[in-house]
Amino acid sequence: MSDHNDPDLQALFDQQPVVQNSEAFVADVIAAAGRRRMHWLAWRAAIVAGLILLELVFESPISHSLGVLGSAMKTPVISLQDDWAAFLIEPINSVAGVLGLVLLGVHVLLRRYIR
Amino acid sequence: MRESPSHYREGPEPLVVSLAARGDRHAFEELVRRRQGWIRGLFRRFSGDVTLADDLSQRVFLKMWRRIRSLKDPTKFAGWLKQIAVNEWIDHQRKQSARWDVVAEDNELVAPATTPGTAIDLDQALAELPAVVRVCIVLAYHERMTHPEIAALTGLPSGTVKSHIRRGSARLRERLIDYGDSQ
């Protein structure tokens, strides 16, 4: 408790009636949570249906895009000779490797400084 | 009437929180049941409006359900929930006015809603305070928080919190003298 609180005001606050528990309120919250979940599931289902439709109608644009993205991710960042340094760096010497390291760094920083 | 299984009702809160974080709906329901009075009471003091208080409380519990996996330490659940509630109230205030945390020079002398000498209750007196002062006063008296705790929770500078509580307390005393006499 704050030492600076006015004792008369504190007494007045303490005298205020406590809000009684209400099962109706609990039921409302649970129902609202259920509605939100259904809404979220409906959106997911709509997105999946849309993606499937795109694949069927436009000759697999998503599969094609994923293939292109996969190739791009494998692109080496640095050209290396066949020596021991190349052997060590090879696992992370790609766009995907660098992206993974950056995301890991961001994750560590967020955990340390924000939470 | 909906009922949680009895073992949830008897379980220690950190355990119930851990279960809710794993997606257990009964545990979530039990947490709402246990903490509803506190959160609804806090919003009633903030807003002075029973319907608005219950709407905002419901939003807080829905946010709690969505974010509970991010709570690393279940023993800190109460403080974490209070932070969500205070943020919800501050967001609500920002929707009313982007500069909710500024007290206008002339705001301290706002004309009372009641005529002098008329008894008013605590919620009426609180409603006459500027929004940011009301938040500080409610957290100090209703929640019995220290000034540094209020500063940490609201993001306001510690000196500002102290000043708002000092001025708000003086203002409340002034407005409630008649109320105290009429009891």
Query: Among B40, B141, B146, whose Cβ lies nearest the Cβ of A19?
Result: B40
B53 → chain A, closest CA residue:
A19
Taking residues B139-149, what's their average pLDDT? 94
| Region for residue B117 given its phi and psi (left: phi exceeds 0; alpha: psi -120 to 50; beta: otherwise) | left
pLDDT-based confidence at residue B56 (cuts at 50, 70, 90): very high
Q: What percent of chain B has pLDDT over 90?
A: 64
CB atoms B146 and A9 under 8 Å: no
B171 contacts: CB under 8 Å, gap ≥ 6:
B108, B125, B128, B129, B133
* pTM, two decimal places: 0.73
The per-residue pLDDT for B112 is 46
Q: Which long-range contacts (CB under 8 A, 24 or more apart) does B139-144 make?
A: B139/B86, B140/A2, B140/A4, B140/A5, B140/B165, B141/A5, B141/A9, B141/A10, B141/A13, B142/A13, B142/A16, B142/B41, B142/B42, B142/B45, B143/B42, B143/B82, B144/A1, B144/A2, B144/A5
| Region for residue A80 given its phi and psi (left: phi exceeds 0; alpha: psi -120 to 50; beta: otherwise) | beta
CA distance B114 to B103: 21
User: CB count, 10 Å around CB of B141?
Assistant: 27
Q: Give chain B's end-to-end CA distance (angstroms, integer).
A: 39
The per-residue pLDDT for A47 is 94
Taking residues B31-60, what's their average pLDDT? 94
Residue A93, amino acid: N
Could you read off the pLDDT of B73-118 as tens digits, one per residue? 999 999 999 999 999 999 999 888 766 666 665 454 344 444 444 4
Chain B nearest-CA distance from A96, in A, is 27
- As a dihedral over the C-alpha atoms of residue B168, residue B172, residue B175, residue B178, rounded to 10 degrees, the angle is -160
Query: Among A2, A20, A32, whose Cβ lies nearest the Cβ of B140?
Result: A2
What is the ipTM metric for this complex? 0.77
CB atoms B176 and A9 under 8 Å: yes
> Does residue A74 have a pLDDT over 70?
yes
- Burial letters B103-136, b for 16+ CB under 10 A, else e: beeeeeeeeeeeeeeeebebebbbebbbbbbbbb
Taking residues B63-81, what's their average pLDDT? 94
Q: Which residues of chain B have a CB within 8 Å of the CB of A8?
A: 173, 180
CB atoms B62 and A29 under 8 Å: yes
- As a dihedral over the C-alpha atoms of residue B139, residue B142, residue B144, residue B150, rounded to 10 degrees, the angle is 0
Reduced to 3 states, what is the DSSP secondary structure of residue B17? helix
**How does the average pLDDT of chain B come out, rounded?**
85
Residues of A at the B interface, defined by Cβ within 8 angstroms: 1-6, 8-10, 12-13, 16, 18-23, 25-30, 32-33, 36, 115
CA distance A45 to A33: 18
pLDDT-based confidence at residue A114 (cuts at 50, 70, 90): low
Could you read off the pLDDT of A5-29 as tens digits, one per residue? 889 899 989 988 888 888 999 999 9
- Asked if A77 and A95 count as a contact pair (C-beta separation under 8 A), the reply is yes
The per-residue pLDDT for B168 is 93
Chain B nearest-CA distance from A51, in A, is 26
Could you read off the pLDDT of A49-70 as tens digits, one per residue? 998 888 888 877 888 888 888 8
CB atoms A27 and B2 under 8 Å: yes
